[in-house]
Amino acid sequence: MAISEGAFVWTCFPTSEAPREPGLRHVCYCVAASTRLAVMAYTSSQPWTLSVLPMGVRVFGTREAGQLNQRPFVLYLNRLATLPLSPRWFPTLGRPQGEVVAVASANLRIEMMAVMQDLLRRHRDLVENLGPGA
């Protein structure tokens, strides 16, 4: 399955400390994709413990995460990386098992896109951009 908007994908998301270098392999959310690049949003399996969610942060509990073939996680639409579609950034690219873990439902994709549009139009200063394409 190809990497496309709405896919949860195995990615080597860069760290803030090394923003142009691949980080550890984990699942991220594809905000947008072309034939050469993908804009990925960071995820973390660390539980959210604060009472307030910043703009662009979405918590997926056990049931919702399970529907996406994952354990509970936090999606950070305010932390993006523009990455080339290459094995350096997507380690299982082109392999039979593929890099796509799950694809968000149409409703979830619409929800995420609305948040992204609001962030980019009105709160661009809250968005961290990483990766060689940033």
CATH fold label, 7-130 = SH3 type barrels. (2.30.30)
The phi and psi torsions of 103 (rounded to 5 degrees) equal -125, 130
52 band by pLDDT with thresholds 50, 70 and 90:
confident
18 band by pLDDT with thresholds 50, 70 and 90:
very high
What's the confidence (pLDDT) of residue 1? 59
Looking at the chain, the whole-number percentage of residues with pLDDT higher than 90 is 72
Give 40's strand partners. 30, 81
* pTM recorded for the entire structure: 0.92
3-state helix, strand, coil in the chain (%, to 5): 20, 35, 45
